[in-house]
């Protein structure tokens, strides 16, 4: 039942995003995506872990998609708030996808997360190619290049989840500490560390902490 909810939620978000962006509107994908995320969090038995996965997915979307936009592999329609960044509807789609990982892994059985990463890597190019057909995005030529890049990006994103990747925020100076700690408190599992890039001791301390 949970897997069916995941599939329906993702499909509804994908269609709202593709059709909305193809018409030059970012609002449908964002609104539907956030609604699905709220519903998934409401029914989740591991709410904190699910929220952490969703936040991590949004961060990964910003990193991977910004890189692909920067090198000219992909361009997005309804690119709000900036054409240099992935549009909000796309980030919402990544967040919805993150809510599907756990149930998909259970369905796939042994090594489910690894199989899920391979499945995501295989299906991601199809979703991007289909999105291009609705004018939600444009793919650079040769078309196989951005499709391979998206496949790797989604597979890597899932593997980071498999590895238990978590977010770490840093601050430079006590003046910024309180604000960073308040932000971290809204993201389960996030670590906060002092990091002044002109201070070798703090750089070494962060490296040791993250290496443990």
Residue pLDDT, tens place only, 61-92: 888 888 888 888 889 999 888 888 999 999 99
Helix H or strand E encompassing 158: helix 144-162
Q: Give the predicted TM-score (pTM) of the model.
A: 0.69
pLDDT(153) > 60: yes
52: tokens are 């952490």
Q: Helix (H) and strand (E) counts for the chain?
A: 9, 4
15-65 pLDDT per residue, tens: 999 999 999 999 999 999 999 999 999 988 878 878 888 888 888 888 888
- Report CA 58 to chain centroid distance, whole Å: 4
100-118 pLDDT per residue, tens: 876 655 555 555 445 545 5
Identify which has the larger pLDDT, 52 or 151. Answer: 52
163-202 pLDDT per residue, tens: 455 556 676 667 667 766 765 665 555 667 787 767 778 7
- How high is the pLDDT of residue 202? 76
Which among 161, 67, 92, 166 is positioned nearest to 120, based on CA atoms? 161
As to burial, measured by CB atoms within 10 angstroms (0-12 exposed, 13-18 middle, 19+ buried), residue 150 is buried
Question: What does the pLDDT average to over 96-101?
Answer: 83
Helix H or strand E encompassing 197: none
């Amino acid at each position: 039942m949970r897997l069916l909810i995941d599939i329906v939620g993702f499909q509804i978000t994908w269609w709202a995003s593709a059709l909305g962006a193809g018409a030059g509107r970012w609002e449908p994908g964002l609104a539907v995506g956030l609604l699905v995320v709220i519903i998934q969090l409401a029914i989740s038995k591991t709410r904190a872990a699910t929220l952490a996965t969703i936040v991590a997915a949004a961060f990964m979307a910003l990193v991977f998609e910004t890189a692909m936009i920067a090198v000219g592999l992909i361009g997005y329609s309804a690119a709000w708030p900036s054409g240099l960044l992935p549009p909000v509807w796309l980030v919402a789609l990544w967040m919805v996808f993150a809510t599907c990982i756990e149930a998909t892994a259970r369905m796939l059985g042994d090594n489910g997360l690894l199989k899920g990463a391979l499945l995501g890597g295989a299906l991601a190019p199809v979703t991007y190619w289909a999105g291009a057909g609705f004018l939600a995005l444009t793919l650079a030529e040769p078309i196989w290049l951005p499709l391979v890049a998206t496949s790797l990006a989604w597979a890597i994103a899932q593997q980071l989840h498999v590895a238990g990747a978590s977010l770490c925020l840093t601050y430079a100076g006590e003046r910024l500490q309180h604000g960073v700690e308040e932000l971290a408190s809204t993201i389960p599992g996030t670590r906060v560390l002092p990091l002044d890039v002109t201070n070798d001791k703090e750089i070494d301390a962060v490296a040791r902490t993250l290496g443990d």
